[in-house]
Structure 1
Amino acid sequence: MVKEMVSSNLREGLSKVTQSRLVSSLLLLKCYQGCSISYEGGIGVRSLQEITESFSAKLWWTFRTAESLWTKFMKAKYSMRIHPMARKWNYTHSHTWRRLMKIRDKVDHLIHWKINKGNSNIWWDNWMGTGKLARLNTNTSINSPLHHYIHHKEWDMNKLLKVFPLEMVNNIQNIKIHSLDNSDLPIWTPTCDRKFTCKSAWNAMREANLTSLVNKKMWHKKCHSKSPFSSGDCSGTELLFGHQETQEHLFHDSMISKDIWKERCKSRFEDIKMSKARVISNTYQQMVLLVHKQFNTINPFMHWSNFMEITEQAKPLFKTTAVKWNFPGLGTLKLNSDGCSKGNLGPSGGESDSKLLVEWITGKSKPPWSLMDMVELIQHNLESIQDKTIHHIYRECNKLADSLANWGLSHRHTIWMNNFQELPRETRGELKVDKMQIPSFRNSIVKNSFYMYRSMYRNFLFDVP
């Protein structure tokens, strides 16, 4: 009898321990699934594993690009006669090197090498922008630098044709060799300024989930932190729950239902009588404060009817400015240029009346690394012009160049126009407008400002901060 009681208690204890561990494992699993960006269905908390990988990527970037005592030691120990990408994993290696070996395949293809004197490896370094080329050759364990295939700052065609097919050699010829005096420049491709950041490494290596419009609206930065977090279990992430929440449950678990639940709890556990007026008042105050956070000119103590009238009828306030193209000064030449692009990645004629491009050419800001060669070529050509000014104009003042760019996109060949009659008809109209100095109108939205039309009084109410 005693043995049976002991064994029964033992089984019951083991069952509770097993159940507790199972629940803990499920909670950890659900928390891991919730470690994602808010608009991807997570709770806005980053995964520690992904953060660790981003720091490991930084360690690999330092090993590949820096010239410190630690990198010299690691290269002398592990990659003196063989490229680090060709080194095989071995359990006898140090913990740091095994950490680098684990992350290298995820990181190294994100490092692009800008060719200068050609000290990069032709097989294992990403110098073409397509990743390593070791898959094309079985004998790639030896160190084969690029300068063996460069002769007087030009590609050696005979040597390239011995190892690459003709189509690839033609692509290699288009790659510019910059300076033979400097080492090849490493470029971190996920960023525009070619500099490594842990944030860009985290974004580049993680497995992104699908974005959701509901999550974008729910996790607004102006909202109180408790509101989106408490409704995060309804956004489809299944956080700490074993079932998928429905869209009906998402909108049911709203601000109003939470206030009702609070009143119910006060009535049951604190002996406070439920009040419909208090629920309405609390909900109204939260809604007004949320709107006041975005539009600080709204009175947070206004009546409910006035608040509803503003939120339903308020429209953004537009500012209209008259702009026009100006004639060049006496004895000067004015060149207006523009470009057009159809689709996101479609055929493009470039960008010209962009303020950002003007800052790139004038040196006020640095261009993305992928456009740096083109911008440097433009700057080099402009050096021959002594007296010059480059400035930005509004697109509304540049309609003539914009019309020619759109027309040129539909005619994929070079056409020289020497007089007014040879211009396209729509372009001739824009030219006449500029010549007659007829202004165009530029509309822009005034930030955090709106207006409301009151039909009762037939007047406009402006609320400008």
Structure 2
Amino acid sequence: MLNFIVWNVRGIGSLSVKNRIRNLCRIHFIEFLVILEPMISNNKISFVAKVLGFPNYFFNVSNKIWIFWTKNVTLNILNDFPQVINISLSYFNVLVNASLVYAACVKNERRVLFSQLSDFASSCNNPWVVVGDFNTVLHASERKGGVFPKLSSMEEFGNMIMDCSLLDIGFIGSNFTWNNKRLWQRLDRALFNQLWIDNWSLTTVEHLSRSLSDHCPLLINIKNSLNCASSIPTFRFQNMWIQHIDFLKVVKSNWSAPLSPDNSIKGMVRLWFKFKRLKQFLSWWNKNCFKNIFANIAEMEKEVCRLENVILSDPSFMNDLNLAKDNLIKFQDMEETYWKQKASSKLIMEGDRNTKYFHSLVSKKKSLNYIKKVRDVNGDWLSDKELLDSVVKHFSNIFAINESKSSFFTSKSFSAPKINKIVFITHFTHQHLPFKYLGAPIFQGLKKSYLFDDIMKKMCEKISSWEFHFLSYGGRLTILKSVLNSMAFHLFQVIKPNVETVVRFERLLNKFFWGTRNDVKRMHWTSWIKLCGPLKEGGLGCKSIADSITVSSLKMWWNFRKNQSLWAKFMNFKYCKGKHPICCFYKNGDSMVWKRLCSIRNIMEPLIAWGLNSGNSYFWQDNWLFEGSIQSILHTISSSAIKVNNFFRNNSWDIEAILSLVPKEICLKIEKHCLENFCNDQILFTLSNNGNFVFKVAWDHIRNKKDSTMVYNRIWCNNIPTSYSILVWRICKGYIPVDVCLWKKGFYLPSKCQCCYHVESINHVFVNGPIASRVWIWFDAFFNTDYFSGHLTFNHLLTVIFHNTTRGHIKIITAMSLIWFLWLDRNDSKYRNVTMNHNRIIARTKEKINSLYKVNLINQKQFRGFKFTAKKLNNNLFEDLYEPCYRYVIWKKPKDCYIKINTDGSVSDNRYGCGGILRNNEGKLIQAFASPLVKCSVLMAELMALYKVLQICLTAGFFKVWIETDSSLVVNLVISENSGNFENYYVLKDIKRMLSHLDYSISHIWREGNACADFLAKLGASLNHLTSFNQSNIPFLLKGLINLDRSGLPYFRN
């Protein structure tokens, strides 16, 4: 369809570079070309375009991105930023969006790029490709040579890809796109959204040969379908066959028929013949009886439409219509099963209509698994069909069961002759328990500590490889969070370890953090359990092993109650037998998994709610009223397994039956809900914002909480080096080797400060000593403050300095830098005989702040309220601080025949309200409202505003609407398949139901452009009841805001 090239040429001025680009364009029929880092003046772009043969061209504001296109391509520039150009591109009536990227080398500047891409993703409704030089890698495997890539950079890049819902479909060619003869990296890549994959699943990205630049060109080839001849499909059992009414009968008939010509065959040969015959029969049966599932659905849809027309004149065909609808639902279930099997997905809720989801997974797999070219032994890429066929034949012959790597297990009572016979027939080895499967020990009997020796060994190997790299405490903490803790946690999700194993793991983690050298133990100031906890509560942001195991058990109960996986269905069938799991108990001989579930259910079950759909929740035990289970409301216990849908008949509740069981107050609450039979009830985690189980939220619920303190909350920030933060944390905790602290650990030595004859204590070294006093006096003079006095403690001094500041403020950075260099000066004096000097500490602090500014870790926000200090640090620093920039926000009128709706919610000072406004295509007011709300979250207030305005639209007969809100979360909830959370499930469900009756579009607008709805929401929070407005009673201020919007005057956003 279309080929285009993206290349960071590192200078396009030379003739050889132009010749190579021209040749590439000729060979690959390029109609769209992107050049990065041209390194020549932008006034020469017209000459370059003429040489390359492109009539159209454009360069971005930073002159880092040049684009060229032919007359067959129609291109519009949507956004022009220093690091990215967002365009819309039309090629023979096919419209796509593209973001052409040349990212900065500095992480902080790339954050601006990632933010711009995320903003564009929220408004992009077309197939979208993001391509260019990102100047960072996504995984450590994408770099060869040099130091290990920064985890934070990879994480931020990965988060951007996830936030924008982009996919990396792989590539052809070299694994790396850039090298400098010492270091190889994959810096250039192309990312696509799901719409692109759905439309062009065979798109390929090829890394062309690298010459004349340290980057290789990217060739993006867009294809619609395979260009190879169709082949005979291999037999594959289809799960959807099982749902056919005659399937089991025909399989049984075929299997029990005698073998021809010799029915006396026995053993494995007989089994092989039966399977072969059954395979041939099922292939015939699928083609002639089961037939094409998609054709069946199309035929049944036509039949339903025909009968719906017939029934208008002859109601006697109602039974035929119901039968046709049942068959249509059956065929749709079969289709979903087909796509689910194709997508290899096991984690989707049974009963939901997920066909589109499965189809997108298949499209992605198709794109990733499609073999575009094959590399021979010489490294050349081959695409000839005969060569491809020979490769397929080769691998078909060699892919078989490896007997030497296969084994079997038997019980202890299994006789030796039988074991030997199995070995003789299969050539498999006989093994004994325990053994490892996918990293987890499979065993029988009690859990022993030696079962976890493998994971302990791997962690020790990791530690030994890092131990001699002289890691700082900040480096050790990063590794603990990202690698070591997660290694053990992966195993503990499957198997709950014994107490001894947990202690071993915690000792190992604690040993790594505090450090050892040549097997000599260093001072371990506290245990691992005391290091765990949130940063704001005085922890290091780590989770204890015991808490992680508990949360893993909670997640296991969650998966068990979802009842989606084969494991969950098996456990329900074996141990519950139709009863509610809360009413079932374990007994001797039951599995350890079931005992683990029973031990945690009283904690997890109250955190689960059920959003009604078909009403298959348990009436007594499940929380489907969102106020607790009925038995907990009535303070009773019931073992009844009756379901909610047993009380819902003929589209209404059986009130008499309900009143015979529960009081009238509960019956009135039940009547507010209505059942729908299209899918199962939705399980919801009551603590999370999206209704799904979230590990971090569950951990925060079960852990032992401590009081949050301002000092601990302020010392951790991205623009403060982690080593500085850990040092201040250690001083606050008393985990620092000054003499007084060493006395508390049992080391009784003579004490003398390094700058005077005083006893060395934390307060003396960092606050009240001669050197420290001069440093803090300078600090007060520097910021024109009066914080320091000679009688403050260290914690009190930090509390005074941090008061009325935000995280990362220049005062905090300066104070922590002074503390860091005070400690370095003290150590230099003690171990290197360098006299302590306050001027040296101050100079090193200034130098550090300037260096933080140069790498963009400090900007104007950090100097809020103290801009005068920037000039004291560096004259150029004050001049370089950028001025605030503003963007225009304009409210736009809707199209003819459409109504524009703006909504907003307000939550402040324990007052809650919502508001909305309806305007026509001229921007004139049709109707507005403001309403108070009960206590709720901001998101709930936003959704209630949308809910009320949709009620107004349906009542007034407005069926063509454009909805606009300043909550991007509301937009995402409406357009996605998300069911909401515990608070807003039913409201969101009603909103989507009302929207199904409307011709609507929904979009996000910045808060400044939503001024009318913002005014109404704040007004609603101050009212006592819902109030409607029209032209006769419109508030004066609202009338002025409406006139501003009608005139098209912009609002300004900082």
TM-score relative to the length of structure 2: 0.35
Counterpart CA distance in 1 for 2:699 and 2:552 is: 9
Which residue among 92, 97, 107 is the counterpart of 2:594? 97
Which residue among 551, 559, 563 is the counterpart of 1:62? 559
1:249 and 2:814 are equivalent in the alignment: no
1:131-146 correspondence runs (5 A): 131-135=628-632, 136=634, 138=636, 140-146=638-644
1:210 and 2:707 are equivalent in the alignment: yes
1:262 and 2:873 are equivalent in the alignment: no
**Could you say which residue in structure 2 is the equivalent of 1:381?**
994
Q: Residues 153 and 312 from structure 1, CA distance in 2 versus in 1: closer, same or farther, beyond 3 angstroms?
A: farther
1:428 and 2:1039 are equivalent in the alignment: yes
1:182 partner SS: coil
**Could you say which residue in structure 1 is the equivalent of 2:655?**
157
Counterpart CA distance in 2 for 1:265 and 1:401 is: 61
State the shift of 1:255 in Å: 4.1
1:85-121 Cα offsets, whole Å, 9 max, x none, are 1234656644322221221111112221122333322
**Could you say which residue in structure 2 is the equivalent of 1:337?**
902
Q: Residues 210 and 315 from structure 1, CA distance in 2 versus in 1: closer, same or farther, beyond 3 angstroms?
A: farther
2:609 partner SS: strand
CA contact (8 A) 1:284 1:304 kept: no
Q: Residues 423 and 201 from structure 1, CA distance in 2 versus in 1: closer, same or farther, beyond 3 angstroms?
A: same
Counterpart CA distance in 1 for 2:991 and 2:870 is: 60
State the shift of 1:317 in Å: 3.2
State the shift of 1:231 in Å: 1.9
1:219 and 2:716 are equivalent in the alignment: yes
1:443 and 2:1005 are equivalent in the alignment: no
CA contact (8 A) 2:852 2:858 kept: no
State the shift of 1:218 in Å: 0.5
What RMSD over aligned residues (CA atoms) do the two structures have, in Å?
A: 3.9
State the shift of 1:155 in Å: 2.4
Counterpart CA distance in 2 for 1:433 and 1:255 is: 50
State the shift of 1:55 in Å: 0.7
1:157-208 Cα offsets, whole Å, 9 max, x none, are 112212211112111222342x325332222233333333323322332233
**Could you say which residue in structure 2 is the equivalent of 1:6?**
none
Which residue among 823, 843, 846 is the counterpart of 1:284? 846
1:338-379 Cα offsets, whole Å, 9 max, x none, are 234242764322436224266247616846334354344444
**Could you say which residue in structure 2 is the equivalent of 1:166?**
664
TM-score relative to the length of structure 1: 0.73
Counterpart CA distance in 1 for 2:637 and 2:992 is: 43
Counterpart CA distance in 1 for 2:694 and 2:1026 is: 43
2:1051 partner SS: strand
Q: Residues 432 and 184 from structure 1, CA distance in 2 versus in 1: closer, same or farther, beyond 3 angstroms?
A: closer
**Structure 2: runs of 5+ lacking an equivalent:** 1-523, 746-761, 764-791, 799-814, 861-868, 915-940, 947-964
**Could you say which residue in structure 1 is the equivalent of 2:626?**
129
Report the residue type matching 1:70 in the other structure: W
Report the residue type matching 1:140 in the other structure: S
**Could you say which residue in structure 2 is the equivalent of 1:15?**
none
Report the residue type matching 1:285 in the other structure: E
User: Greater CA deviation, 284-293 or 214-223?
Assistant: 284-293
Counterpart CA distance in 2 for 1:184 and 1:304 is: 59
Q: Residues 127 and 93 from structure 1, CA distance in 2 versus in 1: closer, same or farther, beyond 3 angstroms?
A: same
1:240-265 Cα offsets, whole Å, 9 max, x none, are 9889x997223489543553443344
Counterpart CA distance in 1 for 2:687 and 2:913 is: 23
Report the residue type matching 1:46 in the other structure: K
1:391 partner SS: strand
**Structure 1: runs of 5+ lacking an equivalent:** 1-26, 445-465
Q: Say which structure, 1 or 2, has more relative contact order (CA 8 Å, 6+ apart).
A: 1
1:130 partner SS: coil
State the shift of 1:305 in Å: 6.1
Aligned residue pairs total 409
Q: Residues 327 and 30 from structure 1, CA distance in 2 versus in 1: closer, same or farther, beyond 3 angstroms?
A: same
2:913 partner SS: coil
Report the residue type matching 1:343 in the other structure: S
Counterpart CA distance in 2 for 1:53 and 1:413 is: 46
State the shift of 1:322 in Å: 4.5
Q: Residues 409 and 91 from structure 1, CA distance in 2 versus in 1: closer, same or farther, beyond 3 angstroms?
A: same
State the shift of 1:54 in Å: 0.9
**Could you say which residue in structure 2 is the equivalent of 1:399?**
1011
2:593 partner SS: helix
Which residue among 314, 319, 330 is the counterpart of 2:885? 319
Counterpart CA distance in 2 for 1:333 and 1:40 is: 52
1:148 and 2:657 are equivalent in the alignment: no
State the shift of 1:61 in Å: 1.3
Counterpart CA distance in 1 for 2:979 and 2:576 is: 34
User: Greater CA deviation, 210-219 or 270-279?
Assistant: 270-279
State the shift of 1:137 in Å: 5.9
CA contact (8 A) 1:42 1:237 kept: no
Determine which structure has more spread, i.e. the larger CA radius of gyration: 2
Report the residue type matching 1:319 in the other structure: C
Q: Residues 130 and 294 from structure 1, CA distance in 2 versus in 1: closer, same or farther, beyond 3 angstroms?
A: farther
Counterpart CA distance in 2 for 1:28 and 1:169 is: 60
Counterpart CA distance in 2 for 1:309 and 1:100 is: 65
Identity of aligned residues (%): 23
CA contact (8 A) 1:338 1:402 kept: yes
**Could you say which residue in structure 2 is the equivalent of 1:356?**
968
CA contact (8 A) 1:336 1:398 kept: no
Counterpart CA distance in 2 for 1:266 and 1:405 is: 61
1:112 partner SS: strand
State the shift of 1:43 in Å: 2.0
Q: Residues 174 and 85 from structure 1, CA distance in 2 versus in 1: closer, same or farther, beyond 3 angstroms?
A: same
State the shift of 1:38 in Å: 0.7
Which residue among 371, 392, 405 is the counterpart of 2:984? 371
Q: Residues 97 and 384 from structure 1, CA distance in 2 versus in 1: closer, same or farther, beyond 3 angstroms?
A: closer
Counterpart CA distance in 2 for 1:30 and 1:194 is: 35
State the shift of 1:140 in Å: 0.9
2:886 partner SS: strand
1:101 partner SS: helix
User: Greater CA deviation, 85-94 or 224-233?
Assistant: 85-94
CA contact (8 A) 1:54 1:198 kept: yes
Q: Residues 305 and 226 from structure 1, CA distance in 2 versus in 1: closer, same or farther, beyond 3 angstroms?
A: same
Report the residue type matching 1:157 in the other structure: I
Counterpart CA distance in 1 for 2:575 and 2:736 is: 44
Q: Residues 229 and 104 from structure 1, CA distance in 2 versus in 1: closer, same or farther, beyond 3 angstroms?
A: same
CA contact (8 A) 1:40 1:209 kept: yes
1:85 partner SS: helix
**Could you say which residue in structure 2 is the equivalent of 1:198?**
695
1:399-418 correspondence runs (5 A): 399-413=1011-1025, 417=1029
Report the residue type matching 1:162 in the other structure: S
2:617 partner SS: coil
Q: Residues 346 and 165 from structure 1, CA distance in 2 versus in 1: closer, same or farther, beyond 3 angstroms?
A: farther
Q: Residues 222 and 341 from structure 1, CA distance in 2 versus in 1: closer, same or farther, beyond 3 angstroms?
A: same
